[in-house]
Every structure is written in structure tokens, then in C-alpha cells.
Amino acid sequence: MTRPTSRVRHHVRRAMSTAAAAVAVLGALSAQPAHAAAPQVPVFRDGFGLTQVAGGSVAHSDTDFTLTVTTAEVAGPHRIRVFLPSGYAADPDRRWPVTYFLHGGPGTVDDAAAVPALRSDDMITVVPDGGRKGWYADWVMQNTALGAANWETFHLEQVVPFIDANLRTRPDRAHRAVSGLSMGGSGALHYAEARPDLFGHVAALSGGLDFSMAEVRATVLATELNLPGVWCAISSAAPGTCAGYGPYVDSDAIFGSPYPIFDDRVWKAYDPASPTNLARLADTGITLYTGDNDLIESHTARASHTVKSRLDRLGIGNRLVDYGNGASLDPACNGTHSYTCWAPAFADWVPRVTAAFAAAP
């Protein structure tokens, strides 16, 4: 056999060295973790009067996404933000309880990001747009600068069944809660009263619950007339983002005339603090939270105590947490109308409501 020349041996060694290097590189690449796949929004089907806006879905993570929908009930596109439990995808046979979170005014669905407790592994959280001044009501006037404004119908007759049809929920009142803060606190208590068949649990945080109070009616008027002033400065909106309550609308737009001397029957019919409406909560888990350490909280504390007194007289179980200056709730809370208190209040409530969900048949 002829022995290879030195030049041939050199090229063989070089080829072998190059191949070995390539194998080493491929091995190193295969050992590296693959890039995480982009988060995906679950596929939703239109229905119940809701139509999804093309390109309007945003996936913040695998368990946090936002849909954009339109409806004839409320003018303009509106967002719905959803937080799923971390185990939602991994357990396709499991159904989950749902909590609806109603933001304050002039807030948005993204305000929920300031409440870590809402990202619970024990429930789905749904945050529907409530408008900068929607007040969770079907407005008396539908021809204002904002157009159609049937917020209550949008949420209760469209969003709730839409969520139940597209996500693996437990669609009964024992496994569904409604919660909210400030404007959303009033809305949460009203929704629980208006539809006790839908909601078995309610939490109202710093809500303007008593519509007989002049201060509460003045707050609604300030939002209608877009007079931010002190209301906006200490509202639920994130610091530096409060730009008012949107276009001016008539002072009678939402609930009709606020003055008893005229005709305030819509205010009285809606009033979350009225004994007639509170009596509808006989089989509902009720929790109220409030501080009393700024202008607005002094009024929400008064309204919350009125609601508790009336519930007690009706023999309806309830829990009121009046944390005053905030010291009893959390070191970061100073008893003001802000997320520094609402976030720990939700951290107190969410484990309680999820325990109630778990105990329900």
C-alpha cells in the first residue's frame, strides 16, 4: 500500500480538525436553551353582540392578554384585559372561577396591573373597560358627545357570557365575583344587586356607595362636566396620567337630574346603598374596604358605614374593613384614595374569595 504524502496527511488532519470543531459548535448550540416562543392570545369567537377588532389583541405574557371589541351598546372600541392562572394551559380539563375587576375613573383596564393579587393561580380575572366616566350604568342620555353608553348592558349581558363561552370558567354565581374600586366600587355593588344570579361575591373598595350623599352626586357631576380639579388629582388614575374625564356631557346625562327638587328617580333606583337594593344581596358574600385619611376617603368611609349599618339591620352578613390611616392594613398604605391601599386590600380579599370558591360545590 502506498503511504500518503505529508501534504495529504496535512489535509486529512485539517479536515478532521474542522469536522470536530463543527461537531463541537453544533453540540454547544444544541445545549443552549431555545428562544422562548412569543406569548399567544387564546382564540376567542365573536358573540353576544361583541365583535373583535382585527389586530386588536395584545399578548403581554402567556397568562395576560388584552382583547379589543366593538358593540352597539357602547360607542367606540373597548378593551378587555384577562389574567389567566399559570396552570390554565397545562390542565385543559379544569374549569376556573372568575373575578371581574371594575376600574375607577378616569382609569383604564391597565390599572389592574397595579394590583398583583389579581394575578391569581386560583382564578381567572377579567377587567372590562368601564370608560373614563361610565359609572357602570346604562345612561339616560345616549346622544351626548360620547354616543351610545349602555355600560351595564355591555358588561352583564355581553362580556360575562362572552368570557364563559370562550374560556374554561365555572359559570355559576358561587364561582363568580365582582369587585371594584372608587367608581368601580359603586359599580361592583350595583352589579351584585342588579344580577344576584350572576355574582355570589362582591368587594367594593373606596366606593361612592351612597347616592343620597351630596358629595357622591357632586363627584358624578364633576366627571360629566369634565372638571378634574381635586377629584382627578386624587383619583384612581396612575400618577401623572390623569388628563380629565373625557368630553363634556350634560349634567343629566348619566342618571338624569341630580336634584331632588326635580326628578332624581334614576339616582334612587340605581343607589347601591338603598335598603331595597341591599336586600337583594341576602345570599351574597359582601366585603367593603375604605380608609378615611383624605377628602374622598372621608366620604367613602361614611358611605361604607351606612351600607354596613343597613346590611346589619337587614340581617345580611358582611365584612367592613375600615383601615383608617392605613396602619392596620399595610405599611405602604396611608389611608388615602390610591393603589397604595387598594393593592394590599385586594391582597387581603383575594385569598378569602378564592377559599369561598373552593368551598362551593
Give the CA radius of gyration of the chain. Answer: 27
Burial of 13 (0-12, 13-18, 19+ CB in 10 A): exposed
For 26, the enclosing helix (H) or strand (E) is helix 6-31
Query: SS3 of 150, please?
Result: strand
Residues 23 and 60: their CA atoms lie apart, in Å, by: 38
Sequence spans of domains, the chain = 51-359
pLDDT mean across residues, the chain:
89
Residue 102 — pLDDT band, cuts 50, 70, 90? very high
Per-residue pLDDT tens over the stretch 245-290: 999 999 999 999 998 888 899 999 999 999 999 999 999 999 999 9
Write phi, then psi, for 299 (nearest 5 degrees): -80, -40
Give the pLDDT of residue 23: 39
Beta bridge partners of 127: 81
The pairing of strands 176-181 and 64-71 is: unpaired
pTM attached to this predicted model = 0.88
CATH architecture of residue range(s) 51-359: 3-Layer(aba) Sandwich (3.40)
Sort residue 243 into left (φ over 0), alpha (ψ -120 to 50) or beta. Answer: alpha
| pLDDT of 29 above 70 | no
